[in-house]
Amino acid sequence: MAVASTQVQLPAVKQTQQAPLSIKARDPFWLGGAASCAAAFVSHPFDLTKVRLQTTQGTNTHGMIGTMINVARNEGFFALYTGLSASLLRQGTYSTVRFGTYDVLKEKFGPKDGSRIPVSTMMLCGVLAGCIGGGFGNPADVVNIRMVNDGKLPKDQQRHYKHAFDGLYRIVKEEGPGQLMRGLGPNMNRAILMTSSQLVSYDGFKRQLLATPWFRDNLLTHFASSLLAGLVATTVCAPLDVLKTRIMNSSSTNISSTHMFIHIVKTEGPMALFKGWLPAFLRLGPHTIVTFIVLEQLKVLVHQKKQQQQQQ
């Protein structure tokens, strides 16, 4: 009888050991977009300030703090959140697609034996994901830039979009649907640089930190990795970010990124391509930190839910 009892219990032990192995499935496509939307609530005032500085012609004497104070004083405190609906729409399209596509491509092109993904493969995945995400997010980006810069324009030139969808509707109605693709070239190039620098550097920094005896896969590691990734991404993307902002905010219909680049360097100097770097970092730094911390926590919740479903 004792032998029979042992034989009955063995399969149960095997099932308990094998159950966690099947949990390792692809994360939901929407996780990155949800985390980015949460981060937008933190970073939007800095995003507005960055756009205001980038669209300033010539020398700006206010700086980041001065610009934020002027906006709050002249337009009201909540003016710092002008265009929040467009920012959320942008994150819901652009970030959802680039994060989700990046994970899909890593799974497709990465090693199937569970070994580390080469940096070159991650870079390729980042380039492709950024290109696709930049295209999907371009319409919302056009509306976002126009909304956050509206208060800076003369009264007779202000557009007064009520919200993101009103902006999309009015652009199509008043200017044609093609205007939603304004600045697509520099925007996609920026998205490529952003994804390949932000996501790949986060994975790289996290990998290096976990390889040391001082870091574990916890909040501290996520914070440090995302802070460094934000610094890298801000510096890499600064010139294209300025070009994208100037083109999307312009009323001219025939302006290329090359022409805008030459115009800025010729009239304002090469350092003008890094205008708004500090507010861009203060915007992208917290945004990157919140995004990846929320993303990691969402992954934990999703994995726990999958595990609970398997155990039922």
CA distance 84 to 147: 9
CA distance 261 to 240: 9
Compute, in degrees rounded to 10, the torsion defined by CA atoms 150, 193, 274, 89. Answer: 20
Q: For residue 275, what pLDDT is reported?
A: 81
The model's pTM = 0.76
CA 285 to centroid of chain Cα atoms:
11
CA distance 272 to 261: 10
Are the C-beta atoms of residues 36 and 291 closer than 8 Å to each other?
yes
Q: For residue 51, what pLDDT is reported?
A: 79
pLDDT in tens, 245-255: 787 777 666 67
Compute, in degrees rounded to 10, the torsion defined by CA atoms 90, 296, 121, 29. Answer: -50
Are the C-beta atoms of residues 198 and 229 closer than 8 Å to each other?
yes
Nearest to 125 by CA among 138, 112, 109: 109
Mean pLDDT of 32-46: 92
Q: Is 275 left (phi over 0), alpha (psi -120 to 50) or beta?
A: beta
Q: What is the DSSP letter of 116?
A: P
pLDDT higher than threshold 50 for residue 148: yes
Nearest to 33 by CA among 82, 101, 80, 85: 101
pLDDT in tens, 154-183: 888 888 899 999 999 999 999 999 999 988
pLDDT higher than threshold 80 for residue 25: no
Nearest to 260 by CA among 189, 180, 195: 189
pLDDT in tens, 96-132: 999 999 999 999 988 888 788 898 999 999 999 999 9
* Average pLDDT in the chain: 84
Give the model's confidence band at 43: pLDDT under 50 very low, under 70 low, under 90 confident, else very high: confident
- Alpha helices (H) along 150-250: 164-175, 184-210, 219-249
pLDDT higher than threshold 50 for residue 12: no
Q: For residue 7, what pLDDT is reported?
A: 47
Neighbours of 251 (CB within 10 A): 7
CA distance 87 to 140: 7
pLDDT higher than threshold 50 for residue 17: no
Neighbours of 223 (CB within 10 A): 13
pLDDT in tens, 217-232: 999 999 999 999 999 9
Q: What is the DSSP letter of 30?
A: T
